[in-house]
A and B are shown apart, each in its own frame.
Chain A
Amino acid sequence: MTIELTSSAVKHIQASLTKRGKGIGLRLGVRTSGCSGLAYKLEYADEVQAEDVCFESGGVTVVIDKKSLPYLDGTQLDYRREGLNEGFKFENPNVKSQCGCGESFGV
């Protein structure tokens, strides 16, 4: 089981956490939603729950609940600029289909 953050993602997360002033790391997950079935959850993590698994990447703690883990295993999280936007991008090898808007995906 691995989750990897790119160096630009690490930089941005650390900056965001410092600016926010609290939080132990980043929480990733999936929830059922959208047109293709599943959508990513990307949140600040304030605590680790019993059902969570923690990863360390580039000095950032990544918290994932066990239920989401199989959907995210092997994911690389990148922070990048696309045109005028910048933000996080999930490179997830489990994804088999994606809906048009890109919000949701299928496995």
Chain B
Amino acid sequence: MLLQISEPDSPAPPRERKRAAGIDLGTTHSLVASVPQSVATVLPDENGRVLLPSVVRYGEAGEVTVGYGALPWLARDVTNTIASVKRLMGRGLADLGDARHFPYHWAETSGMVRLKTCAGEKNPVEISAEILKALRVRAETQAGGALEGVVVTVPAYFDDAQRQATKEAARLAGLNVLRLLNEPTAAAIAYGLDHGAEGVYVVYDLGGGTFDVSILRLSRGVFEVLATHGDSALGGDDFDHRVFCWILETANLPPLAAEDVRLLLMIARNAKETLTQHETAPVVTTLSTGLRVELTLTAEIFTEITEHLVQKTLMPLKRALRDAKLSIEDIKGVVLVGGATRMPQIRHAVADFFKQPPLVNLNPDEVVALGAAIQANALVGNRSLDSGEDWLLLDVTPLSLGLETMGGLVEKIVPRNAGIPLTRAQDFTTFKDGQTALAIHVVQGEREKVADCRSLARFELRGIPPMVAGAARIRIVFQIDADGLLSVSAREQTTGVEASVVVKPSYGLDENEITRMLEDSMAHARDDMQARALVETQVEADQLIELTQHALAEDGDLLNDAERSAIDAALEELAQRRQGQELNALRLALAKANSATAEFAGRRMNRSVQKALTGKRVDQVSGIRNQTVENG
């Protein structure tokens, strides 16, 4: 056969960093983060503010205001200014319990709720889309172009309807959703827990108005949510309210005008925030009535007046642990999420409860968005651009993947450096007559022998109908998805029997190990070549011995004693050489055995032709011929 020069397998072209972002679509505020240069950062607006209040206002003239611009309207234009839309996502009126608690005008509908605004009826998906659009614009302005994809976070307890609604909102905002990610998982990813030891982690998320606790288990690089609990009416705002009440009582204030209430709530919030750094916080202001308030809030008083709120967060923790059937000793780490977890007494309470200090070094407001950004960055395939730290999730196969074939040799199916996702298929067959099962051993590595490669998985395909060796057609398919998850399936083509297995091939391999495996394959090239040749010849010898013995049992009468003993001797020598490691001697013995059996094989062929023809009447044979003529 003559060969032509072909184009090289196009090596992966130098890739540009793709633009991706992570979005924390929160109840009170939302954030967007990205990974511009291997470190995730949240993106501020043009005024340097990171948080975007999750508030949308529809104006008379059809204009839409999102974020800080919409905040002042919350009190003034209640029906057209929507806050906390996240609570409405994917919900019908019946799901909301008492819809009258909300200040909105509901439209009559059987499906997801619709709000009557001056811009027409709006559903929560459309309203959320406005928030997402604002974040998209922010991210695209700073990234300098359209986003390839985003990861949007949702609470772990969100059901399918709520998740679907979130996805639709993102699509409506012109975003390509790579994946929805559970908020606690995002927080864990931001802390890099997915690279650490396997185990159980708790995420304690105290936001502005909601409290969520999630228990996650990390195994094989994947987080599983074991239990969630929480309180949808407990958050940092309640702490502000406690301080507000304390001011009212201590200063003995008369009933206040609405603007003074807002003023004092703001003062209360500032005092609370001051106490995260200081032992005391001044509460000083002048009310619209001219009344002057001058108080000092100490950490001690603050702890006292909010003690029951802190205790209230411990109940869901206990329940979640009970649901997951775990005790405090099982918890490997605790992550704090949400601005309210900055309060020292929360941190102390959590540390006391779990008997270990929680992870706090990332900004608790940003940690979910950061985790989402890291995930988004990984999903669009920027990982390999950022130093080798992230070898777990690769967009090319680091090493070849293959199967064990007869004699312990590796048949490579997926070459190294193949881009993922991918699908490769190859047909295999049975080795022995009547073989009804096939053991499939998936290995990874560059070496020729299975023993020198890394074993990934084993499974069996059973129920192959008995056939002569080589007649079965078994298609084995290697599939690697975008997450690097390898699934191998085997299917016998005539009967359709199937078996499959899923593995994560890069799990547990670091860069050094991959490099070592590659270098090994180069260093052992010659040994491997010898080994392959030897094993191949051994397999051939086995096959010849088995075939011949089978034939002798069936048609041994075709041979006279001298012929028979010549064949026996040749087989015996072959079997002996088969045990040794001498390639040339084995080849010689194989050639001898082949020629010793050649005459016997010829006689068997004649006999089977005779058998096929005897017992058939002449008209049967000729009948076929006639038919052929007619058809022709």
A67-B521, A67-B525, A96-B587 are contacts. A32–B5 as well, Cβ < 8 Å?
no
Task: Please state if A45 and B8 are interface contacts (CB–CB under 8 Å).
Answer: yes
Chain A residues lying within 8 Å of B5, measured Cβ to Cβ, are 13, 16, 26, 42-44, 88
A70-B525, A82-B2, A87-B2 are contacts. A96–B8 as well, Cβ < 8 Å?
no
Q: Which of B4-33 contact A (CB under 8 A)?
A: 4-9, 11
Q: Which of B483-531 contact A (CB under 8 A)?
A: 518, 521-522, 525-526, 528-529
Q: Which of A30-72 contact B (CB under 8 A)?
A: 31-32, 37, 40, 42-47, 51, 65-71
Q: How many residues of A are in contact with the other chain, CB < 8 A? A: 36
Task: Please state if B412 and A88 are interface contacts (CB–CB under 8 Å).
Answer: no
Chain B residues lying within 8 Å of A11, measured Cβ to Cβ, are none
In the complex, A85 has a CB within 8 A of chain B? yes
In the complex, B446 has a CB within 8 A of chain A? yes
Chain B contact residues: over half helix, strand or loop, or mixed? mixed
Q: Whose C-beta in chain A lies nearest to the C-beta of B402?
A: A32
Chain B residues lying within 8 Å of A67, measured Cβ to Cβ, are 446, 521-522, 525, 528
Contact among B3, B518, B525, B526 with A90 in the assembled complex (CB-CB below 8 Å): B3
A42-B3, A106-B536 are contacts. A70–B526 as well, Cβ < 8 Å?
yes
In the complex, B562 has a CB within 8 A of chain A? no
In the complex, B532 has a CB within 8 A of chain A? yes
Chain A residues lying within 8 Å of B518, measured Cβ to Cβ, are 51
Task: Please state if B7 and A43 are interface contacts (CB–CB under 8 Å).
Answer: yes
- Min Cβ gap B622→A in Å is 34
Task: Please state if B533 and A107 are interface contacts (CB–CB under 8 Å).
Answer: yes
6 contacts between A and B (CB under 8 A): A43-B9, A68-B525, A88-B3, A90-B3, A102-B1, A106-B533
Task: Please state if B412 and A51 are interface contacts (CB–CB under 8 Å).
Answer: no
Q: Which 4 A-B pairs have the closest CB atoms?
A: A87-B2, A102-B1, A70-B526, A43-B8
Apart from A71-B529, A82-B2, A85-B2, list 18 A-B contacts with CB within 8 A: A13-B5, A31-B415, A32-B412, A37-B536, A42-B3, A43-B9, A44-B7, A44-B8, A67-B521, A70-B525, A87-B3, A88-B2, A88-B3, A90-B3, A101-B1, A102-B1, A107-B529, A107-B532
- Min Cβ gap A1→B in Å is 11
- Min Cβ gap A76→B in Å is 14
Contact among B3, B9, B412, B536 with A40 in the assembled complex (CB-CB below 8 Å): B3
In the complex, A103 has a CB within 8 A of chain B? yes
In the complex, B411 has a CB within 8 A of chain A? yes
Q: Whose C-beta in chain B lies nearest to the C-beta of A36?
A: B536
- Min Cβ gap A51→B in Å is 5
- Min Cβ gap B582→A in Å is 14
Chain A residues lying within 8 Å of B525, measured Cβ to Cβ, are 66-70
CA distance A73 to B548 in the complex (A): 36
Chain A residues lying within 8 Å of B3, measured Cβ to Cβ, are 40, 42, 87-90
- Min Cβ gap A30→B in Å is 9
Chain A residues lying within 8 Å of B587, measured Cβ to Cβ, are 96
Chain A residues lying within 8 Å of B411, measured Cβ to Cβ, are 32
CA distance A56 to B529 in the complex (A): 24
CA distance A83 to B200 in the complex (A): 71
CA distance A102 to B2 in the complex (A): 9
- Min Cβ gap B405→A in Å is 10
- Min Cβ gap A6→B in Å is 13
Interface 0/1 of A83-107, CB less than 8 Å to B: 0011111100000100001110011
Task: Please state if A96 and B521 are interface contacts (CB–CB under 8 Å).
Answer: no
- Min Cβ gap B534→A in Å is 10
Chain A residues lying within 8 Å of B410, measured Cβ to Cβ, are 32
CA distance A70 to B522 in the complex (A): 11
- Min Cβ gap A61→B in Å is 14
- Min Cβ gap A98→B in Å is 9
Task: Please state if B533 and A96 are interface contacts (CB–CB under 8 Å).
Answer: yes
Interface 0/1 of A7-33, CB less than 8 Å to B: 000000100100000000011000110
Residue of B6, B8, B415, B521 with most chain A CB atoms under a 10 A cut-off: B8
Chain A residues lying within 8 Å of B11, measured Cβ to Cβ, are 46-47
- Min Cβ gap B444→A in Å is 15
- Min Cβ gap A27→B in Å is 6
Chain B residues lying within 8 Å of A80, measured Cβ to Cβ, are 2
Task: Please state if B2 and A51 are interface contacts (CB–CB under 8 Å).
Answer: no
- Min Cβ gap A58→B in Å is 15
Chain A residues lying within 8 Å of B532, measured Cβ to Cβ, are 37, 107
Chain B residues lying within 8 Å of A101, measured Cβ to Cβ, are 1
A107-B529, A107-B533 are contacts. A43–B6 as well, Cβ < 8 Å?
yes
Residue of B1, B6, B410, B411 with most chain A CB atoms under a 10 A cut-off: B1
Chain A residues lying within 8 Å of B526, measured Cβ to Cβ, are 70
Chain A residues lying within 8 Å of B415, measured Cβ to Cβ, are 31
CA distance A16 to B528 in the complex (A): 34
Contact among B1, B8, B522, B528 with A46 in the assembled complex (CB-CB below 8 Å): B8
- Min Cβ gap A71→B in Å is 6
